[in-house]
Amino acid sequence: MLENINFALVNWSRAQFALTAMYHWIFVPLTLGLGFLIAIFETLYVKTKNEEWKRITKFWAKLFGINFAIGVATGIILEFEFGTNWSNYSWFVGDIFGAPLAIEGIMAFFLESTFIAVMFFGWEKVSKKFHLLSTWLTAIGANLSALWILVANAWMQNPVGMKFNPDTARNEMVNFWDVLFSSTAIHKFLHTVSSGYVLASIFVIGVSSWYLLKNRELLFAKRSILVASVFGLFSAIYVIFTGDGSARDVAKTQPMKFAAMEALYDGQNNAPLIAIGLLKRPSEAGPYEPEDFYFKFEIPNALSYMAFLSPHAFVPGINDMIVGNEEKGIVSYSERIKKGKIAINALAAYNKAKKAGNNNEAIIASQTLEQNFKYFGYGYYENVNPRELIPSVTISFYSFHIMVILGAHFLILFIVFLYFSFKENLEKRKFILWIAIITIPLAYLAQELGWIVAELGRQPWVIQDLLPTIAAVSEIGKNSVIISFFLFAIVFTVLLIAELKILFKQIKTGPNKGGN
């Protein structure tokens, strides 16, 4: 099954998509959170009629607009890549994956693109209340866009609400609500957008801290910090709860990813959670042996509780899934590969019987396909060592744990700034002001690490258990992908540099006087 695979094409296609996605996600979380912060600032302006809140609103809106424009540009390219580089994927699941993206374009993007014009250009042309409504609808529209995109991604992690049609070799949606309200979709949306609120709050606090260090715009900066600290604190607390729910969902639907996140090779009851640890390099005897730690700090029973809400629950490890665990009802990867091959052969037999007009054989083949379809994707790995299907344990482990550590830092930061916001000398706390500025890139790092855990930890699957990465790529020339990879890298880097220059210039200029 693998002899005709162009692995160089697969790897370059993966690299190009990863490049585009990671650049795109630099802009998205700030849009998600800053939109609501701007709406809160403007609400305070309308309620108090204090012109300072108007200045605050208009300043952060300018930064929002700069970020929004470039985010849209990178997002459009990302969606085009599904058709150019991943056409087999688009064919296999286009009836399902395309629906949320279509709704995103028709409803959510239309909503935000309509009212963002009023938000920026309607200050003196519409009433205060209508302008405020437009600002809130812009923020809501941005988050609705994220909803539909994250629903599509969640379906790739946990394919539900669908049925495979052997006549077309496509997956077809049979229950839209199962797709929309799957546990994975709910957890992914709530965790992702709330983490965006955290990033936006840190961005506002960090930029405002720079003004305090420069002894500029003190009232503007302190008010911005106060609102962002409250918004960020509640968001950070919510991120903890949604992250806990997401981890539990991963343990249920993607146990291999969950085991890789904790470098858990051998399953166990009363599994401890590794709060912090340093992995050794894999031994020379083989890269898939359990990796020891130079050191680690464990919380007893915490992993079992996080995964299954019981401190005594059994958490399967990597080896349990590779070799199987009959006692725990875990099917080995070798058995899954056999069943997947049966499903693929049954599909071929069904198509052959259909063409020959042999309905009885077609019915038998269809039944065999349906019985084994849940392992369909494993059939592509016939004659492959199942251990090659383990995602990168080292990258998954460090990405997950660094993200969690940074999340704890963000929570503490909000508490500290909220406390000092009620003091009279926040501008004199130069150390914590510098910490806030340094935390801005750390917030972006946490965002990217979260997506690395989600996507790299899912490998080798594009659609969990159904479609491997090697079978999803388009049959195009490798050189075309390589050329476009470097072109995108150059263009995206230029766009990022341009945005940073515009943002820094706007921040250096500061808010306009008099709210104009």
Which tens digit of pLDDT belongs to each residue from 146-163?
888 899 899 999 999 999
> Which carries the bigger pLDDT value, residue 511 or residue 414?
414
Same domain, 194 and 298: no
Within 13 Å of residue 450, how many CA atoms lie on the same side as its CB?
Answer: 27
Strand partners, 50: none
Range of the domain at 283: 268-315
- Listed residue (274, 223, 257, 304) closest to 45, CA to CA: 223
Provide mean pLDDT across the span 186-198.
Answer: 96
Residue 375 lies in a domain: no
Same domain, 427 and 497: yes
- Evaluate if residue 506 carries a pLDDT over 70: yes
Same domain, 250 and 272: no
Q: How far apart are CA 127 and CA 450, in angstroms?
A: 41
pLDDT of residue 285: 42
User: What's the token pair of residue 88?
Assistant: 């087999």
Same domain, 126 and 152: yes
pLDDT interval class at 102 (50, 70, 90): confident
Write the DSSP string, 116-156. HHHHHH-TTTS-HHHHHHHHHHHHHHHHHHHHHHHHHHHHH
Residues, the chain: 516
pLDDT of residue 515: 45
- Evaluate if residue 205 carries a pLDDT over 90: yes
Q: How far apart are CA 254 and CA 247, in angstroms?
A: 10
Which tens digit of pLDDT belongs to each residue from 324-369?
998 989 999 999 999 999 999 999 999 999 898 898 999 999 999 9
Strand partners, 165: 170
Query: Residues with Cβ < 8 Å from 42, sequence gap 6 or more?
Result: 53, 54, 57, 131, 132, 135
Residue 362 lies in a domain: no
Residue 360 lies in a domain: no
Residue 102 lies in a domain: yes
Taking residue 5's Cβ as centre, other Cβ atoms within 10 Å add up to 15
Contact 26, 466 (CB under 8 A): no
Residue 340 lies in a domain: no
What pTM, to 2 d.p., does this model score? 0.92
Same domain, 223 and 302: no
3-state secondary structure 350-388: HHHHHHHCCHHHHHHHHHHHHHHHHHHHHHHHCCCCHHH
Same domain, 307 and 413: no
- Residue with token string 């650049």: 23
Residue 298 lies in a domain: yes
Q: Which of 74-78, 213-217, 397-401 has the lowest mean pLDDT?
A: 74-78
Same domain, 53 and 163: yes
Same domain, 246 and 272: no
Residue 338 lies in a domain: no
Q: How far apart are CA 276 and CA 256, in angstroms?
A: 20
Same domain, 278 and 247: no
pLDDT of residue 445: 97
Same domain, 204 and 101: yes
Contact 458, 451 (CB under 8 A): no
Same domain, 20 and 146: yes
Residue 345 lies in a domain: no
- Evaluate if residue 372 carries a pLDDT over 90: yes
Calculated CA dihedral for residues 377, 383, 387, 391, nearest 10 degrees:
-40
Q: Domain total for the chain?
A: 2
Same domain, 99 and 196: yes
- Residue with token string 């720079």: 210
Provide mean pLDDT across the span 418-428.
Answer: 86
